[in-house]
Amino acid sequence: MDSRLIDSGLQELNKMLMELGLYSYASFKKAVDALRNWKYIGEDLISRSYQLMMKREEINSLAIELIARYQPLASDLRYLKSAMEIAYNFLRIGRYSADIAMSLIDFRDAEGKCEVDKLEPLIEVVYEMLQLAMELIENPDSTKAENIYKLDSQADEEYRRVLEIIIKLDNIKCGLMLALVARYLERIGDHAYYIADSVYYYLNGYRIAKF
């Protein structure tokens, strides 16, 4: 297609979305690392989540500007709607990552006493979901996006399994901390699902599953 005026705006938006995604993904990696090694980086991740808020606001502003200027339709319109949805979901992933890291600070006196490794299977699935979401942002693909559905079921299953373990723990502080972190992880997985769903909507005009 001949280059249209809107195209450079859409390219810019895509670049910003990739940056936001990478930043959010890095927050998640830092949170997991903090969890595995009981590091106190909560404050750092909170300030990163403010960065994400600003980046998300820039994405929304550009998307709204492109809508106002070009009144786009069809896949252009769907792309802009998806971009705004995806930006919000990356923001939430960054925020839950900060919440994970903050839990370690809140339960400081439980350091070294909690079996954090019980969360590993859940972490693994959520990692996979986020990686898939990142991949889809770079290369939108309907068939790949559909895989998120299976991964989401796995994450739900792992989450329930973790809760069953937690409920039997004697150390209340550890139980509480692990339950909170498990919940945050499960939510991060949900937001990765929403990102895949937004990519799928952009490509097809309808959603992976009905909510």
Partner 1 sequence: MGDIKLRVRNLDAWYGDNHVLKNINLDILSRAITAIIGPSGCGKTTLLRVINRLHETVPNARVRGEVILDGKNIYDPDVNPVEIRRKIGMIFQQPTVFPHLSIHDNVAIGLKLNGINDRELLDKIVRKSLREAGLWSEVEDRLWDRATDLSGGQKQRLAIARAIALEPEVLLMDEPTSALDPGATSRIEALMTNLKKDYTIIVVTHNIQFAARTADYIAFLFNGMLIEYGVAQEILERPKEKLTERYLLGEVDLERWL
Residues lying near partner 1 in the complex (CB under 8 A): 1-2, 4, 6, 71-78, 204-206
AA identity, residue 132: L
Measure the CA angle with vertex 86, ends 80 and 89; round to 5°: 150
Alpha-carbon distance 93 to 52, whole Å?
10
When the beta carbons of 11 and 171 are compared against partner 1, the nearer one is 11
Please, what is the angle between helix 120-138 and helix 5-37, to 10°?
A: 170
Alpha-carbon distance 178 to 59, whole Å?
34
Q: Taking the complex as a whole, how short is the minimal distance between the CB of residue 85 and partner 1, in angstroms?
A: 14
When the beta carbons of 77 and 176 are compared against partner 1, the nearer one is 77
When the beta carbons of 65 and 120 are compared against partner 1, the nearer one is 65
When the beta carbons of 2 and 109 are compared against partner 1, the nearer one is 2
What distance, in Å, lies between the first and last C-alpha atoms of the chain? Answer: 36
